[in-house]
Amino acid sequence: MNKRDFLKSAATLASTAFIPSVGWAFPKGKKLRTAHIGVGGMGGEDLNAFASHKSVDIVALCDVDSIALDFAKSKHPNAKTFSDYRILLKTMVDQIDAVIVSTPDHTHAPASLMAMDLNKAVYCQKPLTHSISEARQMAQMALKKNLVTQMGIQVHSFYDYKLATLLIQSGIIGKVNCVRAWSPKNWGYDGTPPKKVAPVPANLDWNLWLGTAKKHEFKEGHYHPGNWRKLIDFGCGTLGDMGVHIFDTPYNALALDVPKTIKNECRPPNGYGFPENNKVTYIFPSTKYTSKELKWVWYDGAGAPAKHNDLVLPDNEELHEQGAMFMGEKGKLYLPHFQELPKLIVDGMYQELDVEKFGLGKPVRDYESESKKHYYEFVDSCLGKTNCSAPFSYASRLTETILLGVIAGRFPGKTLHWDRQKSRFIEKEANQFIGSSYRDF
């Protein structure tokens, strides 16, 4: 089934006429009624964060795993429960204002597009989608329908990242010519699909978990929970996991669009799991914060990052496990991931930074309150009080960039050229990986 048919069937499911339910006209004093799709794992954290906002009413919960669903229900006894998000959206279309999508990546777009088609505001976990065409479609639909949207990259709203953005945009290191970013995490898998058909536990609806993805035989612990990240039909590897968080600040600070070329130096593809180590080099067109071109190098997997002069710290200090380094005309800015202040390095020495002069006040080190900001920004945007800082218009470009690196992993060592206008690679053989086909389920 293609996406158009998928949405058509969503539209017939929901017979209610078009009524914009969120935005500037949201009635004063009314609570935002949220529906949560995926309430285990990160979905549980998302649920707690939204529930802590005084203007939120949790009205619907959906999970394909009854253990996760029952646990969420025990905390929100008044919410209605579902295992199929299509049924949730159909039956509760008039009783919800916003939908939170916290499922594995392959279900982000199918669930979010259906919710947006029904004029709901959507908070969708990162990476925005599993394919580039889905990311573009999400941004287009949000724009066309003028919906409040936010991607779940909560560190986007943390003090240190906002500060790094302001520092870079203030020109503290001049025009930036290169960014190096890294994570030693490994969401790769060099194995084959499970051969034996294993019984699906009674608490899991495997068909609904697979959703629009190709049929796979179930194996305990192999996909659900969490390990789907390693597999190309469901996740986006380490780039889609840590990459999105660590890319976000340089991407935002430098006001980047999508890259012109992409090269991934990794092992040959096996058609099933992602590479264990990726070194991705992107070249971006210039912006007002960069030199003529910007080179961006991403390293992941054990041993990341590879040694490089740009990554040498004063007194040969050890690099943080994950982070990003901006190289500029006047020095470099080091941004450890996370809850660490950015550090300015000039001529191989750390420089004092008067961080409070950037208007953000004193540094905040409280994860609990910091992480709520991003969620609250979404709620308050739905209530017409502010705007989201990671709407789908932004999130789709960032996700497209991430996914270009993932696709380049299918062609190790080869430089791919991306035509952003046509949404096509010059290298025709890569174009088959831009979209996704949907299984009827």
Q: Would you count residue 275 as binding ligand NAD (CB under 6 A)?
A: no
State the minimum distance, in angstroms, from the CB of residue 221 to ligand NAD: 11
Q: Would you count residue 125 as binding ligand NAD (CB under 6 A)?
A: yes
In terms of CB distance, is 99 or 208 closer to ligand NAD?
208
State the minimum distance, in angstroms, from the CB of residue 124 to ligand NAD: 8
In terms of CB distance, is 375 or 411 closer to ligand NAD?
375
Q: Which of 3, 22, 33, 40 binds ligand NAD (CB under 6 A)?
A: 40
For 187, list phi and psi in degrees, rounded to 5.
-110, 50
Binding to ligand NAD (CB under 6 A) within 302-361 occurs at: none
State the minimum distance, in angstroms, from the CB of residue 104 to ligand NAD: 5
Per the listing, tokens 């340089």 go with 250
Q: Would you count residue 243 as binding ligand NAD (CB under 6 A)?
A: no
State the minimum distance, in angstroms, from the CB of residue 248 to ligand NAD: 10
Q: Would you count residue 104 as binding ligand NAD (CB under 6 A)?
A: yes
Q: Which of 14, 33, 53, 103 binds ligand NAD (CB under 6 A)?
A: 103
Q: Would you count residue 37 as binding ligand NAD (CB under 6 A)?
A: yes
Q: Which of 14, 58, 59, 68 binds ligand NAD (CB under 6 A)?
A: 68
Q: Which of 119, 131, 150, 154 binds ligand NAD (CB under 6 A)?
A: 154
Q: Which of 3, 6, 26, 41 binds ligand NAD (CB under 6 A)?
A: 41
Q: Which of 42, 200, 319, 341 binds ligand NAD (CB under 6 A)?
A: 42
State the minimum distance, in angstroms, from the CB of residue 255 to ligand NAD: 22
Q: Would you count residue 274 as binding ligand NAD (CB under 6 A)?
A: no
Q: Would you count residue 107 as binding ligand NAD (CB under 6 A)?
A: yes
Q: Would you count residue 225 as binding ligand NAD (CB under 6 A)?
A: yes
Q: Would you count residue 62 as binding ligand NAD (CB under 6 A)?
A: yes
**Interface residues with ligand NAD (CB under 6 A)?**
37-38, 40-43, 62-65, 68, 85, 102-105, 107, 125-126, 152-154, 208-209, 211, 224-226
